[in-house]
Amino acid sequence: MAKDTLTHFTKEESKTIEILVQKSDSIVSRDEIAQAVWGERWLKKYSDWQIDRLIYLVRRKLSSKYTVKTIRNRGYVLISSKSSIPSTPTFPVEGTVPTQAYLEYMSNPQNPRKVLTDLFSVAKKEKIIINIKHPKLILVVNSFSADNVNAIAKYLSGSEVYFSNFDSRALILHQYQIDKLGLPLFHAVFDDLRHSRLADATFDLIINDFRLNFNTTHSQNQQSMENIFRLLKAKGQVLVSVVIDPRYKSLRLFQPWTFQAQEGLTRFCFTAIYYQKLFQDSGFKIIADFDQKNGNSWHPPYRRYLLEK
């Protein structure tokens, strides 16, 4: 398949690209790739041929902006087309990283959660959904609830859907659900929105359901929204939900407030005014501001928006 097109990564390919991304611009040995792919069984499972094949497949599916170079007798390195190979490793994933307890909580349908079924239900109730153009290509950013696959299949059937995430645990859960439901147009792909490697002007609709709250700084929010704008086609739309700082007139415009809901994971939020300005400064038009909840101690206040490029 041509580069710069979206392609499904298998579980082993995802593990391979994950270790390459984690050590971007640094050399990754064949042993490190084997450990990432096969875990504790890597010595028994080790296969030079299999590693060669994984690297070959990953190279074919990467954007043309990036390449995997072979460093003879040392390993492989993932670099951008404009960079040289530095001697220092890159930084880990920015922002809040989900704990195992959070992932297990969000994966259990019996727990009180905010998931895409809630988003679509309220969008239908408030007649927001009629403003959503029928999308051919959808990107769902950092979903941690595998039943979101079911929700998209129900409310936006017929669309091709990509669930992107920087967390391999979440990708595995979503790919399992996709395979279980037999959805050939659904895919789980490794990507960090803040440094997205996906191609420009690809999607008709991007769904970011409370994922901005995993960012810890204004800069990370800017990166997220700028990449969403870049990834959207002309007139593309965004459904975004955010927990908000209840201090509406807070002077701490660019200083986040922390919150913790029933999932037990501390995250960050800003004021409603802040988010509206963030969306507009990123080039978006706010089509609708809906489902405004004041919240309480375990149900923080939040808002949802429909944006258009």
Taking residues 84-90, report their average pLDDT. 36
How high is the pLDDT of residue 206?
98
How high is the pLDDT of residue 43?
85
Reduce the DSSP state of residue 173 to 3 states and report it.
helix
- Asked whether the beta carbons of 240 and 224 are under 8 A apart, the reply is no
* pLDDT exceeds cutoff 70 at 294: no
Domain span(s) for CATH 3.40.50.150 in the chain: 100-308
DSSP string, 121-158: HHHHHTT-GGGS---SEEEEES---TTHHHHHHHHSTT
CATH for the stretch 11-80: 1.10.10.10
* pLDDT exceeds cutoff 90 at 277: yes
Alpha-carbon gap, residue 132 to 47, rounded angstroms: 48
Alpha-carbon gap, residue 136 to 130, rounded angstroms: 16
**Of 54-68, 136-150, 166-180, which one has max mean pLDDT?**
136-150
Q: Which residues contact 114 (CB under 8 A, 6 or more apart)?
A: 209, 210, 241, 302
Its pTM stands at 0.71
* pLDDT exceeds cutoff 90 at 207: yes
- Extended strands (E) in the chain: 66-71, 75-80, 137-141, 160-165, 186-190, 203-209, 232-245, 257-260, 266-271, 285-293, 302-308
* pLDDT exceeds cutoff 70 at 297: no
Q: What is the pLDDT of residues 42-82, one digit of tens each?
A: 888 888 888 888 998 888 877 666 788 888 778 888 876 54
% the chain with pLDDT above 90: 45
How high is the pLDDT of residue 49?
86
On average, the pLDDT of the chain sits at: 85
How high is the pLDDT of residue 146?
92
* pLDDT exceeds cutoff 80 at 19: yes
How high is the pLDDT of residue 64?
65
- Asked whether the beta carbons of 178 and 149 are under 8 A apart, the reply is yes
Alpha-carbon gap, residue 20 to 26, rounded angstroms: 8
Which has more pLDDT, 132 or 123?
Answer: 123
Smallest Cα–Cα separation from 10: which of 78, 61, 80? 61
* pLDDT exceeds cutoff 50 at 4: no
Q: Which CATH number fits domain 100-308: 1.10.10.10, 3.40.50.150, 1.20.140.10, 3.40.50.300?
A: 3.40.50.150
- Torsion angles phi and psi, residue 18, rounded to 5: -65, -45
Domain span(s) for CATH 1.10.10.10 in the chain: 11-80
How high is the pLDDT of residue 87?
35
Tokens 């978006």, located at residue: 284
Distance of CA 166 to the CA centre of its chain: 6
Query: Is residue 8 very low, low, confident or very high in pLDDT (cuts 50, 70, 90)?
Result: low
How high is the pLDDT of residue 291?
87
Taking residues 245-254, report their average pLDDT. 66
Least confident of 28-32, 74-78, 135-139, 293-297: 293-297
* pLDDT exceeds cutoff 80 at 9: no
